[in-house]
Every structure is written in C-alpha cells, then in structure tokens.
Amino acid sequence: MRILILLTLAFASSGIWADEADPVTAESALSAVAILRDETNWLWTCIAGFLVFFMQAGFALVEAGFTRAKNTVNILMKNFMDFSLGSLAYWLIGFSIMFGPQIISGIGFGSISLADSLLMVDGKPDPSKFTFFIFQLVFAGTAATIVSGAMAERTKFVDYVIFSVLITAFVYPIFGSVGWSNLFNPDNKGYLVEAGFIDFAGSTVVHSVGGWAGLAGTIVLGPRIGKYQDGKVLPILGHNMTIAALGVFILWLGWFGFNPGSTTSVGGGTFAIIAVTTNFAAAAGAVSSMVVTWILFKKPDIGLSLNGALAGLVSITAPCANVSISSAIIIGLVGGVLVVFSVLFFDKIKVDDPVGAVSVHGVCGAWGTIAVGLFAEQAFGGVNGLFFGGGIEQLLVQLQGVGIGFVWAFGASLVIFLALKFTIGLRVSEDEEIQGLDILEHGNEAYPISK
C-alpha cells in the first residue's frame, strides 16, 4: 500500500494528476520519490547482504567436503562460531576502527567505540547506517572464515575462536580502514583511498586479508601428519565432493550479493553489469583450471576445478565494476590457471593448506587487485588501465595496496599465531589428529556408526 501511495505521488509530480504549477504538491511528490529510492536501495543492500551471509554455508560445505570425515564437526563448528563471535567483535570494536572518526588522519585508523554510536542520528537509529553496517558485517565474517580452511584438521578449537575475534576486531578492520574508510564517511580518507586504490568489493580488503592470515596460521602449525614423506607429496583426499560442489554453487550464488551488492544502490543498473562480469569470470576460472589439470594429470580434477571457479570469483571481486565481459573472462581464465600452480607451489614448499584457501583467496585476491591496473576501462567506471591506454600509474597504486595488505595481514596474524603457539598451544596432539578432532574436541561425530 505504501508503494502505491508513493507511486501515486510520483505521478502527481509529473503533472498527470495534479497541477504542475502547485509547488507544494510537486515538492511532496519529489520527496516521496526520494524516500522510495532510498528505501529501495536499503532493501537491495540488505538482500545482497543476506546472500553474502549465506556464503558462510558455502564455506562450511566446501571445507568439510575437502577434508576428512573425522574432522567434519570441527569444520562446521568453526564456520558457525567465527561468524557468531565475529559479529560481536565487529560491533564492539571492528566497525569503529574501520569507519569511525580517524585518530591518525590520512592513514585511516578509526577510534574504538561501539558501532551504536556511529549508527544513530539525533538520538535515533538511522536505517541507512544500519543497512551499511549489516552489509559490512557479513564481509568481516567472510574474511574470518577463510582462515578456517587453511588451518583445518590440526588446530585447537579454542585458538581458532580467539583468532576469529581478533581478526574481526583488529586485523581486517585496520587494513579496511586504510582502503575503504571513505565508504561510510566521505571525509574519512585512509592512505590507499587518497592514493586512488580501487578494490570495489574486496579482492584484497576481504579475500587476501583472510588468505594471508591463513598462510601465517598454516606456516606456524606445520603440515598434517603424513602429508609430506620422503620428499613426496602424499595427497590427503577430502571425504565428500558432493557437499564440496554444493558449497561452491552456494558461494557462486552468494557472490551475486558480494559484488553487485557493493553498489549499495539500484540506480543506473550498475549492479546488473557487475553481475555479468562476476559470472563470466567464475565460469572462465572453472574452465581454465579444469583444462590445466587435464593436461597436468591426464584427468580433469574435480577439487581444483571447483577451486578454479572460486579463483575466478575472487579475481573479479576488485575489478568487477571497472571491466568489460571480455576482460572479466581473461581475468577469470588467469585466476583459474594461477590457482592450480599456486596449490602445487605451496605443496612443493610444504605449506599444507587442505582446501587451497591461501591460493584461492590470497594469491587470486592479489591477482584480481592488480588486474584493475591492467584491464580497467573508463567506459565501465573509474579509470583506464595499462592495457587501455591509462599508463602505469593505476597499476602501481594497485601493487602498493596488494603489498600493504600482505605485510599487514600476514605480519599481524603471524604474531597472533606465534603468541598462541607459545602460550596455550596452537596444535592438537598427535593422537587427537590421528583420531580426529570431532570426538576429542567436540564429543560428537558427523557420521556416527550405529552401535
């Protein structure tokens, strides 16, 4: 009914049902149209945020499928609790650091306060600010949950819980404040914002931060028992490719909220263009990774093909609003190839990442961010990249952002994980790892045998 009333007022403003000379009627109608526009944008952003939240289910299924059955409950608990605890930590501390008034102007660090203080106007809750908050909250949850896969099958649950709080309260928001601080308040301009850094939906701000944190964690943990023997890599296969594939489909769907939703607006229809570039990069990544594995292993590999789709999605997350379909396909193709060789590289240097999270999110997140400086086209918004006559300036800015993101996320996470290792201990015992984390950490099994 409210929409019908607003539409009626909108028609009135056009002079069809009212006197065009009546300024009061015209002003009221224009105000009604503005309200309708704002509320439509809020609705779209919230729906997109709900899709991003559903990605938590996708991550849980991918990680569970790629790991052994005896650790499934542990995987599910980690993915369930990192968002639950991360929500509280982001509300308590993270949001204000990322978007609050800067205590170091020009760098981006916000002062610490409850999110409530930033979401009120004249003592009343502001729906536009609450909309922004829920959308940013699910992004913070994504950065946290990426770490789970890289450290799977040998991490103490209590340590993961502690890190989930710290990454959403400090690690993710501090870098986010450097690159995205102006999204909430245009006057807050972090260092990379001032430099002209482009990361539309978070290839580096979200995905690489999570990926590099996972890299730090898996280095401190060391490889799983039996993964590397006599100079050889012994694959530890996942227990259920069905749920892994379902998880990837859920993530693919969720990315239609992740990237198009970052417009926070339906005006101009940019979200539709972004949805198309997002989809084609994912498809290209899946195809290229399948082809590469077919060539290397003589058979198309399901695990790496699934990760290829995710690699394409992560790669297009930064440039999705600035590139054409053709460029999106190239970016996805490169991402799909890159993830295969990245997984092989980390295995070669004995960095054990059970689900390929570091390669998908860290490496391909960096690639996607760099791709902005190569493939951006002014016709699609923003600037021209190197391949479209824009020179090298934007590429240098993108490289700087990638470098700062790596140094901060990897360095800060390394310190945290080392502190946990030498205090309460980071890794479960050898007996626990062999028997599985489900029984000893949680007293439960995902697939109990009837007795």
pLDDT at 13: 41
pLDDT at 394: 97
- The string of pLDDT tens digits covering residues 254-302 is 999 999 999 999 989 999 999 999 999 999 999 999 999 999 999 999 9
Environment class of 299 (CB within 10 Å of its CB; exposed 0-12, middle 13-18, buried 19+): exposed
Please say if the pLDDT value at position 24 is more than 90.
no
The pLDDT-based confidence of 3 (bands split at 50, 70, 90) is very low
pLDDT at 12: 41
pLDDT at 50: 98
Sign of CA dihedral 221, 306, 372, 264: negative
The pLDDT-based confidence of 40 (bands split at 50, 70, 90) is very high
Report the alpha-carbon distance of residue 404 to residue 378 in Å, rounded. Answer: 26
- The string of pLDDT tens digits covering residues 377-410 is 999 988 999 999 999 999 999 999 999 999 999 9
Report the alpha-carbon distance of residue 214 to residue 353 in Å, rounded. Answer: 9
In the chain, what percentage of residues exceed pLDDT 70?
Answer: 94
Q: Is residue 19 part of a domain?
A: no
Amino acid (1-letter code) at residue 233: V
CATH code of the domain in which 303 resides: 1.10.3430.10
Q: Is residue 297 part of a domain?
A: yes
pLDDT at 234: 93
For residue 188, the SS3 value is: coil
Please say if the pLDDT value at position 15 is more than 80.
no
Q: Is residue 32 part of a domain?
A: no
Mean pLDDT of 298-325: 98
Looking at residue 224, the DSSP 8-state letter turns out to be P
- The string of pLDDT tens digits covering residues 60-91 is 999 999 999 999 999 999 999 999 999 999 99
Q: Which residue range(s) make up the domain with 91? A: 38-262+271-442
Report the alpha-carbon distance of residue 212 to residue 50 in Å, rounded. Answer: 26
Q: Is residue 450 part of a domain?
A: no
With contact defined as beta carbons under 8 Å apart, do 38 and 266 qualify? no
Report the alpha-carbon distance of residue 269 to residue 333 in Å, rounded. Answer: 26
Amino acid (1-letter code) at residue 345: F
Report the alpha-carbon distance of residue 410 to residue 211 in Å, rounded. Answer: 9
Unique residue bearing structure tokens 């499934």 = 72
Q: Indicate the pairing of strand 228-229 with strand 120-121.
A: unpaired
Q: Is residue 14 part of a domain?
A: no
Please say if the pLDDT value at position 450 is more than 60.
no
DSSP notation for 397-436: HHHHHHHHHHHHHHHHHHHHHHHHHTTT-SB--HHHHHH-
With contact defined as beta carbons under 8 Å apart, do 437 and 153 qualify? yes
For 120, phi then psi, to 5°, come to -110, 150
Q: Is residue 30 part of a domain?
A: no
Mean pLDDT of 7-35: 59
Least confident of 36-40, 48-52, 411-415: 36-40
Mean pLDDT of 234-249: 96
Q: What is the mean pLDDT of the chain?
A: 93
Of 231 and 168, which is predicted with more confidence?
A: 168
Report the alpha-carbon distance of residue 26 to residue 147 in Å, rounded. Answer: 54
Mean pLDDT of 328-355: 97
Mean pLDDT of 436-450: 89
92 phi-psi bin (left φ>0, alpha ψ -120 to 50, beta other): alpha
pLDDT at 9: 42
Please say if the pLDDT value at position 349 is more than 70.
yes
Strands (DSSP E) contained in 252-338 are none
- The string of pLDDT tens digits covering residues 83-96 is 999 999 999 999 99
Q: Measuring CA to CA, how many Å separate 255 from each of 144, 231, 289, 317, 355?
A: 17, 39, 19, 9, 19
- The string of pLDDT tens digits covering residues 107-162 is 777 888 889 989 999 989 999 999 999 999 999 999 999 999 999 999 999 999 99
pLDDT at 7: 45
Of 356 and 18, which is predicted with more confidence?
A: 356
Please say if the pLDDT value at position 23 is more than 90.
no
Please say if the pLDDT value at position 196 is more than 60.
yes
Torsion of CA 164, 169, 175, 180, to 10 degrees: 120
Q: Is residue 6 part of a domain?
A: no
Unique residue bearing structure tokens 């490169």 = 334
pLDDT at 254: 98
* Number of domain units in the chain: 1
Please say if the pLDDT value at position 8 is more than 60.
no
> The whole model's pTM is what?
0.92
